Each structure stands twice: as C-alpha cells, then as structure tokens.
Chain A
Amino acid sequence: MSESLLNIQNLTKGFPIRGGILGREVARVQAVRGVDISIDRGEVLGLVGESGCGKSTLGMLILRLIDPDAGKIIFDGQDITTMPQSKLRPIRKSMQVVFQDPYASLNPRMSVGDIIGEPLLVHKVTSSKERRDRVMDLLKLVGLNEKAYGRYPHEFSGGQRQRVGIARAIILTPKLVIADEPVSALDVSIRGEILNLLEDLKDRFSLTYLFISHDLKVVEHISDRIAVMYLGQIMEMFPASELCEARHPYTQALVSAIPVPDPDAKRERIVLKGDVPSPIDPPSGCSFHPRCPYAKDVCKSQEPQLDKYGDGFFAACHFIDEMKAHSVGSELASK
C-alpha cells in the first residue's frame, strides 16, 4: 500500500470555557477527541456527522488554523503538528480548503481575480502576467465568465461564489483539498453542479479530498470512503459504495434519515431519543450510549475502540458483530 497522504493519529482539541472575574478555565468543550484517520492519495474521504460533532474543527486542525492539544498530523510524510507557521507556509501550497459559506469566505473588498490569484501571488509562483492568464484559465474551468475577473464577490450568486472559492483552492494544484461543507449553503438545484465540478477537478488534477458534510447522501455520492463522526470521535468507517452495509447503530439512524424521493415509500425510521449530549461533558463509555437503542451496561462504562469488522469496515461499538445492516439501507439499495 502506498503511503497515505494524510495521517492523523489520536488528534484531540478542546476549547476552554472561561468564567469568573479571573477568567479561569471552568470547563472545556471537547470538540475533537482522539481521532485517527488516514487518507490515501487520490482518495475522497467523506466525513459526516451532526452539527457540532467536531468535523469542521477537525478540518481546521488539519489546516493548522487552530493548534491541536494532542495527537499527530502527518501530511505528505511530514509531521506538521507543531510546525511553526513560517515553515508551514510552503506546505500550504499543497493543502487548500473550500469553505462552507461562500458569502463569508470571499473578501468583499477584493476582486474575484485578486481572490483567485492570491495564492499564486503570496507564494510568488508566477509573474503577474502569467498569474492573470492562469486565473483566466481557471475561471473558465470552474464555469465562470472571464468578465468575472474584475468583478466583486457581491455581484455573484452563492453558487458562482462557491466556484470562485473552489478556483482559489485549486489554483496551486494542491495535493489535498479540505472541502468543509462546500454545498451545504447552496440551493439544492445547484448542489449537483458544484459536486460535479469538484469531481471533474479531482480527476483532472488528481486531487485528494477530505469532504466534510452533514448530509450523508451528498457524501455518499462523492466519496470513496465514509467516516462517521459523533461527539468528536469516529464511530464508523466504511466504503461509500457499501453504505447500506454499515452496521453501527448511529450510522443506521443517519441512513434512515436520508429522504427518499418517493411519497409512497414506507420505511422504518430510526428516531433517536434525546439530543446530542453536550461536548463539555461527554457521556462515559461509548459516547453514543445514551441514545443507542441497543445500549447495554458495558456501553456505559467501557469506551469501544475503532475495530475492523469487515473488509474496509471499522466501527467503534461493543456489539458490532450482533448488529445487522439496517433494513432501510437495503430498501434504498433496491431503488
């Protein structure tokens, strides 16, 4: 097996909550709790989870926008966990990001051409004339008009802005692109276009994606492998093509919540009881146990490890061998 492009080991991050007049730390939001992930070159890893499960924090950690408390990030054979920003700068060329909100991720005071060309400028890759040409080429490639070059972000729709964001991310032909909910803020009607664009670009530039989303259906569409995150931990990992075979109770609940475009479809929904527990004080043992329909005593006391249970299947569950793939999954598969 070739060496993986990105390897994360036991990555942990908590955010302090300060209180009192002295601003002492009174509690800690445990956003990411010991995550192990590796992404191979050319692979698309989908990361799904509910809001607040730490998936965006994980993305920020990999990009070193925030510093981890513990763990290791090995990117392209280099340990970047504690690398100073100045040494990190050349590495940033091969690691880019597409953000969720196309309204917040583009500087409203910069023209589209300047935004897309900025990575080239700051890395001094090209002369200014070449830069203009490259940006023009890329504008066409992502499906924008060349006239967009001198325009400002507010003149564009959400989908068009996201194309600008994508163009900025790939102009340096990075190795890894972290796509943090790239289509969640967009209309359903243009999600497909943007997803197709991302897929085209991946093939053309042989990119590797970490695709973060809360929408299992979107992730399934684009990913090779899917990792399911819950309360800062990876619950299950499996090949995307075999979504229906995933057995972890949480994954099954997510699968059962995928809308089926058939008004007559009768299916069994798994409605989880309660809310997501607070990440300030995560449950003991398996963090999913308060909501798990199959929870037993051992789940409350012992934390399950992410273990292999099939070819390409990993899950953190004490009873994974006793679980069956959910019937809804097979129902979906039959359509």
Chain B
Amino acid sequence: MVNERQTYASMIWRQFKKSRLAVVSLFVVAALVVIALLAPFIANERPILMRHAGEWSMPIFDKASLTLSELDVIKDSSSGDLWFINPPIPFGPTTYDLDSVLSPPTKKHLLGTDGDGRDIVSQLIWGSRISLSVGVVAIGIAAIIGIIFGLLAGYFGGWADMIISRLIEIMTCFPTFFLILTVLAFVGPSIFNIMVVIGITGWTGIARLVRGECLKVRGRQFVHAAVVSGARDGRIMWRHILPHALAPVLVSVSFGVASAILAEAALSFLGFGVPASTASWGSMLSEAQEYMDIGWWLTLVPGSAIFVTIMAYNLIGEALRDAIDPNMKT
C-alpha cells in the first residue's frame, strides 16, 4: 500500500551525504556561523563575567567598562574582591597591544599581530561576522528579487517575460564587479551599501533559474487543477510552482554566498569596503600588503580563511547540485 519512497528533501539529503567533502564543508560553515554569532564571547578585550565590590556584571556588553589590561593594573592594587572570567582570546579586534607590534605567532598572540599590534585571531573572528552577514544578506536580497522576477516572467509569459528577460540580459552584460565599484563610489562604502549593491546586481542567475523551473511546472496538470479549483495567480505561483524551484535556487544561493564573500573581500582589499575600524578579511589582507616581506602570517591567515570559506560554500553548492540532479539517482 504505502510505498517506502521518501520525501523529496530527505532524498536530497541522502544523496548529499554521499559527498564526504560536502558534509565536512557543512560543518565548516556551521562552525563559522557559530563563531560569528559568538564572536563577542570568544575574542574580547573585556571579561565575560565579572564580580567587583560584590556586584556582578557582564563587561563585554558595556563599552564603558574597564578592559582586561586596565583590570590587570587594578587587580594588583585592589583588595582581592575582584574576580572575572577571561574570554578565550583576550583581545578585541581593535585592541592595540603596543608591546607586541608585528609579532609573529606566539603563545600570547596565537596567529601574531599586525602593524598596529592588533591580534590576528581576534580580527579573524570578528571579520567572519562581516563575511557571513554580507554573504547572507546580499544573497538574501538577490534571492528575493530573483524569485519574484523569475516567477513573474515564467508564469505570465508574454510581455512580462519579454521585459524581465531583456533586463536579465542587460544586467549580465555589465561587468558586475566594476558596476559595484562605481555604485559604491557614488553612495559611499559601508557594509550596508555593499550588501545592497551585491544583492541588486546578483539576482539574475536566480531569476533565470526560477523562470525556467516555472515554465517547466506551469504546464503540469496539478497547476491546471489549481486553476480549476479557483486559485489565484499568486497562490499558484507561491504554493504550486515555487516549491519546485527551491532546490535549484538553494544551489545557486550556495554559490552566490561564496561569490558575495569574495566580492566583499575584494572590495575591502581595494579600500572600498568596510571602514578601517571594522575588521574584515579583505581589509586585513589590504593592510598586510605593507608588511608583505616580514609578516607572512598577515597575508596567510586571512587568505586561508577566505579560501576555506569559499571552498566550503562551493563544495556544498556542488554536492547539492548533484543531489538534485535526477540522473544521479541510484
């Protein structure tokens, strides 16, 4: 009676799991997300938890409270009613440790410091927040625009399709990176602007995909059945067509996140990215240029971080693409 076929999602997952690298990549991405979310707890110049004069506090949320180095001074002189837990990395991304400028990896600074005495590990951890948010928000914007345009073009056809398809072609003709650079030159570089600009230049691939899937599904009988049921266009697009396009969109999103991260890194490298006071992998690389000959860790560390992250997203995308390909079914 009831056969043992599984749902579509579990089928994709089973196929996806077959790729070891992809599963590892998934863990890498998950770890990055955790690190980015917990960055203030992992690398901070203020204690996580502190008791001073009988009062508990969490200085990491209070920019006005004393930093670890200041506390160290007090600790020696105070009567002992001072207790605190250090974060694992006791440096913020903008903590200037002037005793160890351009320090190679040591016990104190696990991956060394930059020319201003800032800890590399701490910058790396805080930089992952930028990378993650740029990837997610920019591609989120791109996906929303792409899905809406793709559905409209594929479902209504005719003029809507004509206009949107031409728009897609025009957009893909522009060299995206230079378009982003130009736009940023006008609106001014900020993390928000970068996300929006990458988002509104990156939707074409997703729109094309959704349009194609929409054309494929629109002629299927259950769509006719929905029309006969009296369902409105919006409902048909949303409930009946879009779910069929989601898997390929997910693949595209995965690759998109990788390229958005890369774009942000490149922009920051060129100085069009986040303000210098914010740590980002791209800006770390940019600053590393000055010390190319003496500070190998300055380029190697953020470079590897970018490499590993992008690799992980690409591998996930690739495994997903293989998983949804019906010809790969075994």
Contacts and interface: CB of A to CB of B under 8 A. Distances in A.
Given A122-B230, A155-B5, A168 B225 contact: yes
A99 B231 CA distance: 17
B7 interface: yes
A107 interface: yes
A95 interface: yes
Contact of A123 (B1, B3, B230, B239): B230
Contacts of B244: 109
Contacts of A157: 1, 3
B250 to A, nearest CB: 14
B53 interface: no
Given A109-B244, A152-B7, A104 B222 contact: yes
A157 B243 CA distance: 23
Contact of B228 (A63, A109, A110): A63
A92 B240 CA distance: 18
A97 B225 contact: yes
Contacts of A107: 222, 226, 239-240, 243
Interface residues of A, number: 32
Residue from B222, B231, B243, B244 having most chain A Cβ neighbours under 10 A: B222
A92 B230 contact: yes
Contact of A122 (B222, B224, B235): B235
Contact of A92 (B8, B228, B239): B228
B222 A106 contact: yes
B230 A93 contact: yes
Given A99-B221, A109-B243, A122 B228 contact: no
Contacts of B225: 97, 99, 105-106, 165, 168
Interface in A124-172: 151-152, 154-157, 160, 165, 168
B160 to A, nearest CB: 16
Nearest to A95: B228
B220 interface: yes
Contacts of B3: 154-155, 157
B221 A105 contact: yes
A97 B228 contact: yes
A65 interface: yes
A109 B247 CA distance: 12
A5 B86 CA distance: 82
A168 B229 contact: yes
Task: Classify the interface of chain B: helix, strand, loop or mixed.
Answer: helix
B249 to A, nearest CB: 14
Contacts of B240: 107, 110
A118 B239 CA distance: 11
Nearest to A174: B228
B2 interface: yes
Interface string B1-22: 1110101100000000000000
B243 A118 contact: no
B7 A122 contact: no
Contacts of A90: 230
A109 B229 contact: no
A317 B225 CA distance: 37
A101 interface: yes
A89 interface: yes
Nearest to A165: B225
A196 to B, nearest CB: 20
A108 B240 CA distance: 9
Contacts of A155: 2-3, 5
B159 to A, nearest CB: 16
A320 B239 CA distance: 53
Contact of A154 (B5, B222, B230): B5
A151 B5 CA distance: 12
A185 B303 CA distance: 59
Contacts of A152: 7
A97 B229 CA distance: 9
Interface in A304-325: none
Contacts of A60: 224
A89 B8 contact: no
A89 B228 contact: no
A65 B222 contact: no
B329 interface: no
A232 interface: no
Nearest to B6: A154
Contacts of B2: 151, 155-156
A95 B224 CA distance: 13
Contacts of B230: 89-90, 92-93, 119, 122-123
Contact of A99 (B1, B7, B224): B224
B148 to A, nearest CB: 20
B167 to A, nearest CB: 21
A123 B230 CA distance: 7
B237 to A, nearest CB: 13
A119 B229 contact: yes
B227 interface: yes
Nearest to A60: B224
A65 B243 CA distance: 22
A99 to B, nearest CB: 5
Interface of B: 1-3, 5, 7-8, 220-222, 224-232, 235, 239-240, 243-244
30 contacts: A65-B227, A65-B228, A90-B230, A92-B230, A93-B230, A97-B224, A97-B225, A97-B228, A99-B225, A101-B221, A104-B220, A105-B221, A105-B222, A105-B224, A107-B226, A107-B240, A107-B243, A108-B8, A110-B239, A118-B226, A118-B229, A118-B231, A119-B230, A122-B231, A154-B3, A154-B5, A155-B2, A156-B2, A165-B225, A168-B225
- The 7 closest A-B CB pairs, nearest first, are A109-B243, A92-B230, A104-B221, A105-B221, A119-B229, A107-B222, A122-B231
Given A90-B230, A93-B230, 5 more contacts: A104-B222, A107-B226, A119-B229, A154-B5, A165-B225
Interface of A: 60, 63, 65, 89-90, 92-93, 95-97, 99, 101, 104-110, 118-119, 122-123, 151-152, 154-157, 160, 165, 168
